[in-house]
Amino acid sequence: MKTYIKPILVSAFVGLFSMTSSAFAEDTLRIVSWGGAYQKGQSLGIFQPAAKAMGITVKEDTYGGISDVKLMVKSGADKFDIFSSGAGSCASGGAEGILEKLDYTVIDNSHLLPDMWSDYCVGADIFSVVAAWNTDTYGENGPRSWADFFDVEKFPGTRAMRSKVDSQLEAALLADGVPMSEVYNVLDSEEGIDRALDKIRSIKDHIAVWWTSGAMHAQLMKDGEVDMTTGWNGRFDVAKRDGAKVSYDWKTGIMDWEGYGIPKGAPQKDLAMKYIAEMQKPKYMAGFAQYITYGPTDKRVYSQGLLDDATARALPSHPDNAKHQLTLKTSWYKKWRTIAAEKYTDMMTE
């Protein structure tokens, strides 16, 4: 019941504030993202420099994901103009009809890597889900493939996997010997999903924790709570910089992208579109990569040499790293997410 009252109150308050928000100057935009090391990088590398270049004010906040966008749009509130979101959430938000279509005559998508934009979101950075290991436990010879991650004889130790289905089934199938090019074909049926789940079931006794956030899996590695975990490469790099004993191999990478979208009916839609166009310039992508190791979606960042070699090589989308990796397929999630997610929870609670 409590969970229910909250949205009502929130929308009531938001309603109140939205009346005053029209008093905002024409040149103010509000953008929301995920907080933490990620948004810090976005803020310093992209949001604020791009705002300065356009001579506008950009106010930042954090949010809880695409369900917040839905709540805002459905209750007719007006809290933010742009949100930063993963490709999969964008796709489902687009299907729900709560997002504005992006205008690619304003936003330049001609230099982006293939499949790095959709009708509703344009990709800004590329991150990878990898298998990270504790270097105190395994030294440099940790699980360098998903087969190793699932091999509890060769690599005894505790593991952590995500409490949500996203990119975990792909890892399981790769471990089960499915070639990269076949992963999504195999997953395109309930049998395929069950095969991946059975693979996870086979090591379930060794999974000590199911993580729920990037901050959590980074902390698990820092504290030595588990010996290996799935997780986002950038978080591990930041943890490593803070002294955590953690390493990973790009051969376990599953690439996914994060980008910007506009909630349906945003009053500042046109300005938001222009601001996204500005943020998508290669120089800002290069700036962002200085703060966290998430790679640019724009090929020119590499071809124009906007990054020094050491920084570039640490990014998931660097050609030498990208060639080993599977790219997450958004359309599969559109079709199978709810079925796969329920089956995954089922497996977790067994």
Parallel, antiparallel, or unpaired for β 57-62 and 122-134?
A: unpaired
Using the contact rule CB under 8 A, the part of the chain among 3-11, 99-107, 232-240, 320-328 near another protein is 3-11
- Residue type, position 142, single letter: G
Instruction: Scan residues 80-109 and list those touching another protein (CB under 8 A).
Output: 92, 96
Q: Does 137 bind another protein (CB under 8 A)?
A: no
Q: Does 212 bind another protein (CB under 8 A)?
A: yes
Q: Does 65 bind another protein (CB under 8 A)?
A: yes
Interface with another protein (CB under 8 A), residue from 30, 60, 70, 79: 70
How many Å apart are CA 224 and CA 245, to the nearest integer?
8
Residue 68 Cβ vs another protein, minimum distance, rounded to whole Å = 10
Instruction: Scan residues 190-209 and list those touching another protein (CB under 8 A).
Output: 208-209
Q: Does 341 bind another protein (CB under 8 A)?
A: yes
- Residue type, position 97, single letter: G
Residue 8 Cβ vs another protein, minimum distance, rounded to whole Å = 7
Q: Does 141 bind another protein (CB under 8 A)?
A: no
How many Å apart are CA 341 and CA 333, to the nearest integer?
10
Q: Which is nearer to another protein, 134 or 297 (CB)?
A: 134
Query: For residue 341, what are the CA distances in angstroms to 13, 47, 169, 312?
Result: 33, 33, 10, 35
Residues making contact with another protein (CB under 8 A): 1-5, 7-8, 65-67, 70, 92, 96, 158, 163-164, 208-212, 223-226, 337-338, 341-342, 345-346, 348-350
